Structure 1
C-alpha cells in the first residue's frame, strides 16, 4: 500500500474476468471514499485451494509478489488463513457451492484479517434449526411422497465436512436449535472428505446412506452439503424408490447441467433457507449496475465481458459482494488504513439497510462478528418456472413470501406454502 494505491490480489475463477473485476474496482474507486487512494488489482488464476503448498504459495503471492493489502478469494483452509494472518493481510470471502461456510469461531480466531460476506456457518445452521422448530417440526412431511407424507416429520442430517465448508461447523448449532422443540434427528451421518472436494462421495456411499435413512423411517432430510453431494443422495433415493423431503443448504446454481443433476421425483422436493441476496433480473443486480457505472466512466469499457449466462453472472456477483465488503472496510477505516482500523471500522458501523424490493438482505457486523449477511429467505426449486439467465432452462429458485427475510429469533409461524402452482415468484421485481 502506498499514499496513492491499495493493491488487492484477486484469484480469477473464469477466463476473461480480469477486465470485469477491474471495472468493479473502478466503480468502488469512483463511489467510495478511500482518502486519496485507489484500488489496484493484481490478477491470478484461481487454480486449486486445498493443499499446504498452494496455500503458502497464495499467501506469498499476496505479500511478496503483489505487495497487497488484501485478497479476494473463495473459502479456503485454516492453514491459508493462518499464513495470511501471520503476514498481516486482509482476506474477504463469499460462499461458492454451499451456504455453510466458516463459523464465527473460526473467523474470530484470525481477527482482524479474515471476513466473509456470507452468514457464518454456525449462525446459518441455527437459523435453519429455529425455522424448522417454528414452522415445520411436529407436522406431516407433506412435501414427501406417499406414504411418507402422511407421517409426522422424522429428520435425518447429512453433513459433508470439507475445508471449504467450515472445518468446525459440524452439526452442533443445528442440533442445539432442534433440541429446543424436541426435533432430534433420527439419523446423523458425516462424510469427511479429508481435504477433498468434488468426487469425495461415491455412488455406493450414497446408496448405503439412503438405505440407513430409510431404515430409520426418515421422511425429511437436512443436507448440509454442496449441491453435487446432495445430487448424489437424491439420485440414490430415486434408485431406491424412496422420496422424502429435502431441506437443502446448497446453492442452486442455475447454469446449464446442474438442474439435470436433480431428476424427478426427489429433485423436485428441495427447499430451505438462502442467506445470500435474492436472485433478480441481471439488469437490476447491484453488481451489474456497478459495471454500468464503471463503463460510463472508463474509456472503452466493454460491457459484453459479462454475457448474462447463469454461470458467469453468479460468479461475478459473488466477487462483487466480496469487493463490496472490502471497500466498506477501507472506507470505514478512515485515512489511517491498516488491518486493525479496517476491522474496527466494519464492526462499529451501523449499515442503513433501507427498504429494497430486491430483498438483498440486512448487512452489518452485529455484536462484533465477522460475517456480513444477517438474515435469510425461504426458497424452493421449481422445474417449470424459467429463470433470469439464458442458460437457466431447467428450472429456477423460487422465493416464499416474495423473498421476505428473517433473522435469528424472528422466525414466527409459517406463511404461505412451498411448491405452489407455477409460475412461482423467482425474484422478478
Structure 2
C-alpha cells in the first residue's frame, strides 16, 4: 500500500535524461494510475493497469477524471464523483496561498433579463475599480446580458484578459462603462463579517468563501470581537464556499460548539478496504474563542460543498442548525494530496460521517427554508437569505413567501477560480 509510493518515488528519481519523452510520459501515467487506484475510495471496479492503459491519457488530470466514472451513480444515473483531480504543483501552491489571477468577480442572473454581480474579491481589479455585489450588468463586450446569451458571455470571459462591461450605476442613475482586466491578487477568505441588531441583541454574520490557511489568522480576531459584543446567535454564510483544508474547517468548528461537545466526535473518516487502517476520528477541542452558541444559521447553495458540508454535518448533533438557501452539493468526501513529479494527485480517498454516523451521497443538505441567492442586494439585512434568518430569529418562524424555483439550471458565471472545491486533509503521503 503506502510503501508503493516510496518505491515509486525512488524508481523515478533516476536520471530522466536516459528516458525518451514517450518513456517519461508512460512512467508518469502508469505510476499515477498505481498511486491513485490504491487510494481511490471506489477502486473495486477499476481495471488493472494493462487493461486500463493509463499511458493513452495525456495528463494525470485526464486519468483522474476517468476514475470518476467508477464512483456510485446518483438518481440521474451519473457518477457522483465530480472532484478527483490532478494539478501542477505550482498551481496547487498558489491555490493554498490564495494567489489568484482572474477578474475577481462572479455573476448570476436575477432573472432572464437581469445579470448581477454576485461576488467581488476585495483585493481584485474589479473591487479597486468600484464594482460591487448587486450591481446590474447590461452588456459584456457588446453582448446583451440576457440568459439566452450566457454561453456567449462565458466564452468572452474564458478567452479574454480584458472585458468591456456596461453597467447601471444606482447612485448616479446612469449607465457606465468599465474595462476590467485579469490581474494577480491574493484571495480574501472572509467576504464579509458584521452585526445585525434584533430586539436589542447582536446577531453576528460571517461570510467565508474558502477554507485556506490565511483564514486561521483572521478567525481569532473575528470571534474575540463576537465574544466582546455578546453575540448569542451567528449567521455563517457558506453559499460561495466549495471547501478547502479540513484543518481550517476544524479550527472554525471548535469555535462554534457548546461546552458539552468539547472532547466529543467531530467527524470520522472511512476509506476503501485496503486503507481501512487509516480510518480515523477527529474530536472537538477547546478553543479560547468558543462562543457556546445555541443556534447557528447557515446560508447555503449548490456551491456549498465538501469542507463546508463537513462543518455543517459535524455541528448538527450538538447545536441547533438552521439552513437557509438552496440544496448543497452533497460532497462529504475528501482527498489526500500526493506529490508526484511536477503534479499533485488527489483522488477521492475517504468519506466523512458525523457523531451520529450521518453522511451524504446522492443529494446535498436540504435547507429548512428555500431561498435563492438575492444578488440584487449586498450582504446586508435587505438580502433575502440574511433577512430570512433575522426574521426567524426574531419571530421563531420563517416569512411566508419563498423563492420560486430557478428559471434555468445554469444561471451563474463563476469567475473567481481560486477556491478549493474539495476537502483536503493536510496529511500528505
Fold similarity call, TM over 0.5: no
**TM-score normalised by L of structure 2:** 0.29
Q: Whose helix proportion is higher, 1 or 2? A: 1
